[in-house]
Amino acid sequence: GAVVSQHPSRVICKSGTSVKIECRSLDFQATTMFWYRQFPKQSLMLMATSNEGSKATYEQGVEKDKFLINHASLTLSTLTVTSAHPEDSSFYICSARGLADRPYEQYFGPGTRLTVT
Amino acid sequence: GESVGLHLPTLSVQEGDNSIINCAYSNSASDYFIWYKQESGKGPQFIIDIRSNMDKRQGQRVTVLLNKTVKHLSLQIAATQPGDSAVYFCAEAGGSNYKLTFGKGTLLTVNP
């Protein structure tokens, strides 16, 4: 149980375009979803926290107009990188937590490798 | 704050040896500490956790030790196997929303 998927696993886009990444909880209802960014050989950095049906809470320094997060249902959250630039190239990872889970518990997706050319 | 250079701390061990991976955390108010394993190109995988009111917890082949006095956490892996090769992250959680704050990570390489 507690499986989280991401789609796509890899995406290449041109500078200036937008790309959407999906995060799905496959076998549980995710009341809270998290989006992380990870650069090579570095740690995971939390970008934002989203609760189903409400606006995402962004971490300091993360541009909310650039990284649009939608958590429209209890099983799906999306991250849209708008007007992507090469410096947005990174590994994006989502995680999810269900209502019945321990408060710190997060189930991680497999990640999405974004390359902006 | 911590520097985030391009080189992860590394630990290289022989198959069958015990491994000890260390982590310093920053927030003395954190309630939970978790160890994750991340293989190349994949998301983090939960290994073991420990609550702040404990100082040791054991799992299958793994033990986590917590020293709150010096804000230090360690992960011990017994009889390390090649499949244990990965990057290991500690994370701390606390506060009203229990966000995870990840440490730098350590690259463990197990030589056959």
Taking the Cβ of residue A98 and every Cβ of chain B, the question of whether any pair is shorter than 8 Å is answered with no
- In terms of Cβ atoms closer than 10 Å to its own Cβ (0-12, 13-18, 19+), residue A70 is middle
For tokens 């804000």, the residue is B71
pLDDT at A54: 86
Phi/psi zone of residue B44: left (φ > 0), alpha (ψ -120 to 50 degrees), beta?
beta
* Minimum CA–CA partner of B43 in chain A: A110
pLDDT at B15: 97
Taking the Cβ of residue A49 and every Cβ of chain B, the question of whether any pair is shorter than 8 Å is answered with yes
Task: Give how far Cα A103 sits from Cα of A100, B6, B52, B110, Å.
Answer: 9, 32, 14, 34
CATH architecture of structural domain B4-96: Sandwich (2.60)
- Mean pLDDT over the full length of chain A: 94
Q: Using one digit for the tens of pLDDT, what is the confidence trace for B59-93?
A: 999 999 999 999 999 999 999 999 999 999 999 99
pLDDT at B95: 77
pLDDT at A21: 98
For tokens 């929303």, the residue is B97
CA–CA dist B55, B66 (Å, integer): 5
Q: A83 pLDDT exceeds 60?
A: yes
Q: How many CA atoms lie within 13 A of B55 on its CB side?
A: 5
CA–CA dist B86, B109 (Å, integer): 7
Among residues B94, B92, B110, the alpha carbon closest in space to that of B102 is found at B92
Task: Tell me the one-letter amino acid at B78.
Answer: A
Question: What are residue B22's phi and psi, to 5 degrees?
Answer: -110, 155
- DSSP 3-state of A55: coil
pLDDT band for position A1 (cuts 50, 70, 90): low
Question: What are residue A113's phi and psi, to 5 degrees?
Answer: -90, 115
> Which of B6, B27, B38, B100 is the best mutation test for A, with the most CBs of A within 10 A?
B100
Distance from CA of B57 to the nearest CA of A (A): 17
Domain ranges of chain B: 4-96
